Amino acid sequence: MPRRVTLNDLTAYDQKRNWATGHHNLDGEINNYSWNCGWEGDENVPPEVMVLRKRQIKNCSCLLLLSNGTPMIRAGDEFMHMQGGKNNPL
């Protein structure tokens, strides 16, 4: 099953956060291929970390649009939509 994660979550979380699903964070993909840019989460983020995250999101979007084949864009990625680190959302 494909991971359902936003680009913003890829730059904001190193760990999955599937507590809201009721499975004690055991569901969803264990291997997170993400980097939090030096600050875990989306609260009280320093401005320099936000600049880096926005640059990372732009880079990922550019790579996706320039890649070979049909791009699969998750709705809301262009507006930095976030799921709070859930890689198996409700």
For the chain, the domains span 7-79
Alpha carbon distances (Å) from 62 to 15, 23, 33, 57, 89: 25, 35, 18, 9, 25
Q: What is the pLDDT of residue 2?
A: 47
pTM: 0.73
Please, where are the H alpha helices in 1-90?
A: 7-12, 47-66
How far is the C-alpha of 5 from the C-alpha of 27, rounded, in Å? 14
| pLDDT at residue 77 greater than cutoff 70 | yes
- Span 17-71, pLDDT tens digits: 776 677 776 766 777 778 899 999 889 999 999 999 999 999 988 998 898 888 8
